[in-house]
Amino acid sequence: MQPRGMSWAAIMGPPPKNMYLFRNTEGKIVKTYHGISDGRGLKGMDYFNAGLIYLYGLRDFTEYHGYLKYYEINEQVGLINTKGEVVVPAVYDDILRYQDFDGDWGKLIIEKDGYFGFLDTNLNVLFPPIYRCSSDLNYYGYPEHNILNDSFIKVYKNGKCGLIDENGVVLIDFKYDNLLPIHDSMIVGLINKELINPNQYFWNNVQACEIYDVKFNLITSLDEYDHIEYNGIKRFIVKKGNLVGVVNHKGKVIIPIEYNSLAPQDNNYYVVKGNKSGVISLEGKVLIPIEYECNMYFYEPAIYVTQNGLIGVYSNKYQLIAEPQYKQRYWEMGKFMLVRPDGSKGFVLHQKGGSYYQSPEGEVVKME
């Protein structure tokens, strides 16, 4: 029969203690449970296989699949069925339902000493509590928050990150500081050769990485650089010595490692070489010559460059609109005013539906 509990109304003062009783068909009590509400959700129930005992308090216990309830022995939680029979022994710190990417709650998370494992839908142990969800020992985390590519779980073991499926099968071994999904369902394992703050941006201090395809085959290892950062579209900005360049996901060099700095800019790269700057395409084609001072200013749809102390203008299509000839630029009523050394003024009007440059002589150039 189903367990039942009775309690006094609040007006009767402090109520007597309550319990769950399990009786056989003859009405004999075969199992008794008592509980103490301690606010911990799944805990707070002591288990006895005894006759009638004094009562210690009653609470409504969370049910699993409509026929299982949680119980506790010595602050360890387990599961019983509606007959009072133990189906999962009370040896875990906590038992939680696991929600996978499809919203299925079939599996259970078992927690012990800050590590987690899984029970399957038949309550068999898929894998014991041996993994964590974070390298930070002060943060346990939840497996649901660590799902990569819809179904695989990023986990930590002995301080290193790897990848398992929901059955506990290891897909990527535990040798990384972090794992991240990148373009086309590839996964990259990050290696930090220096101790870092785990709460920092993922790519801070990454000095090597390995890239896996969708079937977890190793594509390439990038381990010859001083710093690596993923740049999207299957490419990485890499640094070696004091110079940077770009390689793709197979390790092929796309942009030679010859620039002092390189930063994404409107689907291209703003680069500095020596003490000069310019813009190159994703394939390395020069769009704005690397001959301007390192104070290039991007303000849609114009790019303002400086050469020998004079300001010029390019469009965002990298067409030269005005040769460097202005000594000053300042904002005034929706446009950048441009002042020549002789005091004559041109401007770039920035407006929706059609920006344009006008020279001091009145020549107008529309900017796309």
The answer to whether position 45 is within a domain reads yes
Give dist(CA 23, CA 170) in Å, integer.
Answer: 46
Total domain count, the chain: 1
Higher pLDDT, 49 or 270: 270
CA dihedral 121, 124, 127, 128 (to 10 degrees): 120
The answer to whether position 87 is within a domain reads yes
The answer to whether position 273 is within a domain reads no
Residue 222 above 70 pLDDT? yes
Residue 38 above 60 pLDDT? no
- Mean pLDDT of all residues in 207-223: 94
- Mean pLDDT of all residues in 271-281: 96
The answer to whether position 28 is within a domain reads yes
The answer to whether position 203 is within a domain reads no
The answer to whether position 109 is within a domain reads no
For the whole model, what pTM was predicted? 0.73
Backbone angles phi, psi at 124, to 5 degrees: -85, 150
The answer to whether position 363 is within a domain reads no
Higher pLDDT, 352 or 199: 352
* Predicted pLDDT at 195: 59
* Predicted pLDDT at 59: 30
The answer to whether position 55 is within a domain reads yes
Residue 317 above 90 pLDDT? yes
Q: Are strands 335-339 and 345-349 parallel, antiparallel or unpaired?
A: antiparallel
Higher pLDDT, 65 or 334: 334
Those residues whose C-beta lies under 8 Å from the C-beta of residue 228, and which sit 6 or more positions away, are 203, 206, 207, 208, 209, 222, 236, 237, 238, 239
Residue 85 above 50 pLDDT? yes
Domain that includes residue 86, residue range: 1-92
